[in-house]
Amino acid sequence: ARAAEQRGEIRVRTRVTADNDVVEQAVTAFAKRDGGHVVFVSNSYEPVVERLSDRHPHLRFTIIDSAIDRPNTEAIQFREDEA
């Protein structure tokens, strides 16, 4: 992971699920293995991102369509007509 980062490569893994427990388990495993940046696309993940960002301050999180205020979290909101 670090070598790829030094070469300017970006590794992307995708997981789609509506089960917040599965999401938390996957991100926790990712945090132990690689670390990095996790992106969520839906405000339905807001409670999960809040818990995970507190538990994993070394990770960066982005959540789209939310207003979470955490030091390691970027929240992106769109106006209703932009969504």
- CA 24 to CA 22: how far, in whole Å? 5
Residue 1, pLDDT > 60, answer no
pLDDT at res. 20: 82
Torsion of CA 83, 24, 46, 18, to 10 degrees: 50
User: Are 61 and 76 a contacting pair, CB within 8 Å?
Assistant: no
Structure confidence by residue, pLDDT tens digits, 35-57: 788 888 888 899 999 999 999 99
Burial 23-40 (b: 16+ CB within 10 A, else e): bbeebeebbeeeeeebeb
Task: Tell me the residue type at 20.
Answer: N
pTM of the model: 0.74
